[in-house]
């Protein structure tokens, strides 16, 4: 078989219809299956990457929203902000400072002191 003849038979795909074509078909099906698996796994990988990117952006957005809300809360908790809002309701801060009330708990008697009471 000459070189031109072999190229011509390859172009005509004679290897697919010859007697030992079953081996060739099996190999072609094997290569096709590998290609399909490769495409599937690549698609799956890309889909996961898109999902990870989307979730990362969502986390960044929620984190910034949290920081904004926390700073807003800090402003609302300040005494000056509360007193301004209460002035609209005519509730003013006290001019007299608060006093601390201390309650002393009586000392607990020991077991022997309790026995003396019964005697």
How many domains does the structure of the chain reveal?
1
Q: Which pLDDT value is given to residue 119? A: 58
When computed from its CA atoms, the radius of gyration of the chain, rounded to whole angstroms, is 43
For residues 49-77, one letter each, b for 16 or more C-beta atoms within 10 angstroms of the residue's C-beta and e for the rest, the string is eeeeeeeeeeeeeeeeeeeeeeeeeeeee
Q: Which pLDDT value is given to residue 79? A: 86
pTM: 0.51
Q: Which pLDDT value is given to residue 117? A: 65
DSSP string, 33-51: HHHHHHHHHHHHHHHHHHH
88 and 81 Cβ atoms separated by less than 8 Å: no
Range of the domain at 26: 21-85
pLDDT in tens, 9-53: 766 677 677 777 788 788 889 999 999 999 999 999 999 999 999
Asked if residue 8 is part of any domain, the answer here is: no
Distances (CA, A) of 9 to 23, 95, 119: 17, 107, 126
Average pLDDT along the chain: 86
Asked if residue 39 is part of any domain, the answer here is: yes
């Amino acid at each position: 078989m000459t070189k031109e003849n072999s190229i011509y038979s390859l172009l005509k795909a004679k290897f697919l219809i010859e007697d030992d074509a079953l081996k060739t078909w099996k190999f072609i099906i094997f290569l096709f299956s590998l290609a399909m698996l490769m495409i599937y796994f690549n698609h799956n990988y890309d889909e996961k990457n898109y999902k990870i990117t989307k979730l990362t952006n969502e986390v960044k957005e929620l984190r910034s929203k949290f920081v904004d809300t926390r700073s807003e809360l800090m402003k609302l908790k300040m005494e000056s902000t509360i007193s301004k809002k209460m002035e609209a309701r005519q509730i003013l801060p006290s001019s007299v400072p608060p006093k601390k009330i201390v309650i002393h708990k009586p000392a607990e008697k020991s077991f022997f002191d309790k026995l003396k009471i019964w005697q």
